[in-house]
Amino acid sequence: MQVLQQQQQQQQQQAAATGSTPPSSAAAAATAPNCTVSAAAATAATPAAAAAAAAAAAAAAAAAAAAAAAEQQQQQQQQQQQQQQQQQQQQQQHSQQQQQQQQQQQQQQQQQQQQQQQGWRE
């Protein structure tokens, strides 16, 4: 409304200075008091603003979905890494157990050999 009044004043000043009235000033003078032009502009801008807001909301939702997907993928990778680490640890434990069993068997065999040798000596 103020913008329209300012434009109208400027056009009136130009008309006074030049002695001519721009065609738009006549329309503005007719519509400015009841703000029909600004109301029409507002109603025309409202769907555009709503569309822009909807597009922004859709973009925000898409960004949130992408962030959630990225986070989920990262969690899955971490889980896979943890599973691999657990498997490696289990394999290491298993191999350690096998080594211990082999060492125990070797010790038992050495003891048996020593006992047999002592038996021969006696």
Establish if 24 belongs to a structural domain.
yes
The SS3 of residue 109 is helix
Establish if 62 belongs to a structural domain.
no
Q: H or E segment at 62? A: helix 36-121
| CB 8, CB 21: distance < 8 Å | no
| CB 60, CB 46: distance < 8 Å | no
Residue 1: partners with Cβ closer than 8 Å, 6 or more residues away: 32, 35, 38
Establish if 20 belongs to a structural domain.
yes
Note the pLDDT tens digit of each residue in 31-60.
455 555 555 555 666 888 888 999 999 999
Establish if 107 belongs to a structural domain.
no
Establish if 28 belongs to a structural domain.
yes
Residue-number span of the structural domain to which 3 is assigned: 1-33
d(CA 35, CA 1): 6
Report yes or no on whether pTM surpasses 0.85. Answer: no
Establish if 75 belongs to a structural domain.
no
Note the pLDDT tens digit of each residue in 54-105.
999 999 999 999 999 999 999 999 999 999 999 999 999 999 999 999 999 9
Number of structural domains, the chain? Answer: 1
Establish if 78 belongs to a structural domain.
no
Establish if 10 belongs to a structural domain.
yes
